[in-house]
Structure formats: structure tokens, C-alpha cells
Amino acid sequence: DGGITQSPKYLFRKEGQNVTLSCEQNLNHDAMYWYRQDPGQGLRLIYYSQIVNDFQKGDIAEGYSVSREKKESFPLTVTSAQKNPTAFYLCASSIVAGGPYNEQFFGPGTRLTVL
Amino acid sequence: QKEVEQDPGPLSVPEGAIVSLNCTYSNSAFQYFMWYRQYSRKGPELLMYTYSSGNKEDGRFTAQVDKSSKYISLFIRDSQPSDSATYLCAMKTGNQFYFGTGTSLTVIP
């Protein structure tokens, strides 16, 4: 049963703490992405990675960090430097090879709340 | 100006109605067009995808692309209460994806 899993589903953090959101995929996709979704603002790209051990900043990377040590895994750390981290975080993946005609598939999301 | 513009709604229709959801875009380099459906507190799921101008049909759903006008649409026929969700359009150039803000749809029984 292929897909993208994210954990945990809900996460609560105290101000000043770093937290790590997990994203795993078994679709054998090369590229993985992290988005943040806020009401009325759509999806905003945080980081993306097209290959193991390489990743690029998206539009709103400040206060976040990622790693890509394995093809299947792309964890996102929300650091204490992120000023407004409460949001719904979505992980996605897609095939890179074959040109532009490849879709993006999403995980179920993690809702992070800062207390 | 955003790369992709989408009317946020909300849109409310009676069951059985035809629904039209629309997005406009400014970047002529966009090559691939997608529609996602997102239920509350869930991840988006891919509904339709197309890369050419014209219509693509899948059951009650039709995706339409007009590259000359930089305009895409999703039509839902015989709408059902289970279609109540937020619909996101998405476009791709190279390996970059661009999303609309989503249109919230409610189908009233």
C-alpha cells in the first residue's frame, strides 16, 4: 500500500522549543516537498529536495530546517526562530524523471500548535 | 500579482447542480495543470491532471484548459454532498509547483 505518511497528526509545542515533523514515502519518488498551509493563504513552499543529500529553500524557509539522508524520508524541524509556527504542515512527493508531466502527491498533514 | 489566482469563494450550491471552479495564471511557461480536492484537516488528493488545451473528462469531473487565455476550470456535474471540500488548482513548470489559494465548496442536500 504505497503512499506518504506524516507523523504525528497533531503536535503541540511550547514557545522556544524545536520540534521535528516526520515525512516518509514508499512511492520511490525522487522529489519531496514541505508546505505550510494557513487559512486563506493556500500552500506556501518551505523546502524541497530533488535528490538525497540535497535540498533547496522555498519561499518561507526562515525558521525551518530539513535533511534528506534517505530517499524515503524528509523530516522538517521547526525551530524556535520561526515566529509564527502554528499551522498545518503538508509533505508531498513527486517523480522527477520524465520531464514536467508528473503530479505531486500529498501526505495527510501535521497540525502544529504552539502553546 | 500572484502566479496563480483562484476565487476563494465560499461557493454554496444545491445537490445536483453543476459547479464551475476557475483559476487564472500569468506564467505562460506553465506546462501541467492539476486539480486537487482537500477535505477539512486532510491532505489534498489529486483529482485531475492535464497538459493540453481542451477538455478532459473523468466521471462527473471535467477539467478544461485554455492556454491562450491562461485560464483553467474544473466542472462538477450532478454535485453531491460528498463533493463539499476545498478545491485547489495547481500548475507546474519544470519541477516547480504553483498552487491557487483554494475554493471552498459546500453542496447542500
Interchain proximity A106–B8, CB inside 8 Å: no
Q: From the CA of A87, how many Å to the nearest CA of chain B?
A: 11
A102: confidence class by pLDDT, cuts 50, 70, 90:
confident
A1: confidence class by pLDDT, cuts 50, 70, 90:
low
Q: Note whether A23 and A6 are within 8 A (CB).
A: yes
One-letter amino acid at A63 equals G
Q: A33: which chain B residues are within 8 Å (Cβ-Cβ)?
A: 97
Strands of A40-109, DSSP E: 42-51, 54-57, 64-66, 76-78, 87-94, 105-106
Interchain proximity B97–A100, CB inside 8 Å: no
**Beta carbon pairs, A and B, within 8 Å:** 56
Only one residue has cell 447542500, namely B108
CA dist B27 and A54 (Å) reads 27
pLDDT at position B1 over 70: no
Q: Note whether A107 and A90 are within 8 A (CB).
A: yes
Interchain proximity B43–A50, CB inside 8 Å: no
